[in-house]
Structure 1
């Protein structure tokens, strides 16, 4: 496991954690809030390992017995709460793994730390059960709730926890990481960084994904030639897009970045501002043959498509309407 010094970005959150350790003012309950891939589990793991480290510093020493146990996920006083139901953390999960265990003193450490990932999935009953423990915890207890949506947590839980919001990591740091650590070429690093929108985990996932490269090729082919396609071509493309259903937000983001590139080039004629720099010729042609109003209309249609899909509107209907808007404009 890495230490705080190895984490990309999140300086404010790390500073808060280290200060709390240094001053001996560690809270009994934290909420670490950030989207999937933002580094919640990594930060929670490092924080827990540092709290239990026998060297008692503000970074895990990596060589004491506790650190070695934590690195192999065998530290008995760092408990990761699990759940069998994919979409719910039940009251039984909380009572069995946390409430029923927390009164037992730590085996060999100063703290007993509970990490609850996907805390937005806590049922209302589970949250109420957890609330009783958060209100009157043992002195040695630390509960870390990791969530992508604090809006799903009860206000009473939010008010009793220290909330740490993870901010997007600057693009230049992500690009440097992709090029130096993953040895990505400049062009692909630019694309993955743009799509990650400050999310290091997402940038890494896209960089290592063969399916993302294939999806990008299809999206670029579509936007380059859609104005020349007939109904049968659009139908075939609609079928192909259906195979990307699980990653449809990534696919729509690809389309969105392309059209933003076209809009940017139309306004500035500056190729250095583009994400898809290797597609300069096609972008120049589209910019020349598209109006500002048409490009804005497509970008709005892409936003609407995301909203409709999140609201479970019929997939084929949403995508068909989007493709027609793209073709018309």
Structure 2
């Protein structure tokens, strides 16, 4: 699990945790809110380890019995709440794993810590059941709710928890981590960082993806030839990318970064701002052909395509409309 030194970014949250531990001002309930891959789970476990560490320092020592137990996922006082249904946490899940066990005192540490991942999946009934526990918890209880969207939680839950919001991480920190820790080459680190948009987990996932280069090549091939494509060829291109439905957001992000490069190059003629440096000739040509309005229209259409796909609009129709917009601009 490591230590807070291993966390990239989130210094404000780390400082808050350290000060809360040092001043012995631990709340009974926290919400760690941030998008998938932002680092919620890592911060929650490091917080839990710190609270239970036998050396009682501002961060886990990683050597005591408690820390070693937490490292292996076997600490009896860190309870990870699970749920059988993939898309919801039921009232029974909360009652069985939290409400019915929280009055049992910690087995060995000063705290009993419950970590509820994907807490925004709790049903209203589950939230109301948890609310009763949050309102009158035993002294030793700490509940951590990990969410991607805290706004869907009941206002009564939000008002009784300390909110820790995970912000975007600076691009230079993400790139440095990819190059130094994961040994990712410079050009790929630039690309992964651009797509990650401040999300370290997403950057690492892209860097380790077996399909990333394949998806990139497919997208670049389309970008080079879309203007000359006939309608039948556009339909064929949509069929070929249907294999990437599960990674379609990454595919669209690649296209978005490419057009961002076109827009920046058109405005500045500065190669240093370009992520796709190996595509500079094609980007220069696209910048010459396209108007500012046309490029902005394509970028806007990419965002609309993402939203429509999330809303389960027909995949082929969404992609064909997008490719036609790219062809015409």
Q: Which TM-score bucket, shorter chain as reference?
A: over 0.9
- 1:37 aligned onto 2:37: yes
Q: Aligned residue for 2:134?
A: 134
| Aligned CA-pair RMSD | 0.8
Q: TM-score, normalised by structure 1?
A: 0.99
Please name the residue that 2:121 is paired with. 121
Deviation at 1:211, TM superposition (A): 0.8
Counterparts of 2:41 and 2:254 in 1: how far apart (Å)?
27
| Aligned residue-pair number | 329
Aligned residue runs from structure 1 range 150-161, under 5 A: 150-161=150-161
Deviation of the 1:89 alpha carbon:
0.5
Report which stretch shifted further, 152-161 or 231-240.
Answer: 231-240
TM-score by length of 2: 0.99
The structural deviation recorded for 1:248 is 1.4
> CA separation in 1, counterparts of 2:6 and 2:184?
20
Distance in 1 (CA, whole Å) between partners of 2:307 and 2:190 is 26
Q: C-alpha displacement at 1:313, in angstroms? A: 1.5
Matched, 1:163 2:183: no
The answer to which of 296-305 and 79-88 deviates more is 296-305
Report SS of the residue matched to 2:57: coil
Secondary structure, aligned partner of 2:79: strand
Aligned to 2:193: 193
Deviates more, 1:224-233 or 1:66-75: 224-233
2:2 paired residue number? 2
User: How do 1:308-323 residues align onto structure 2 when only pairs under 5 Å count?
Assistant: 308-323=308-323
Matched position secondary structure for 1:317: helix
Q: Which runs of 5+ in 1 are unaligned?
A: none
Alignment match, 1:14: 14
Name the SS for the 1:143 alignment partner. Answer: strand
- The structural deviation recorded for 1:232 is 2.3
- Aligned counterpart, 1:53: 53
After superposition, give the CA deviation of every residue in 1:134-168 in whole Å (9 maximum; x if it has no partner): 00000000000000001210000000000000011
Residue 89 (structure 2) pairs with residue 71 (structure 1): no
Q: Secondary structure at the match of 1:210?
A: coil
Q: Distance in 1 between matches of 2:198 and 2:257?
A: 15
Q: For residues 224 and 264 of structure 1, what CA distance do their matches in structure 2 show?
A: 18
Shift of residue 210, structure 1, vs aligned partner:
1.5
Q: Residues of 1 paired with 2:106 and 2:175: CA distance?
A: 42
Q: How far apart are 1:221 and its partner, in Å?
A: 0.8
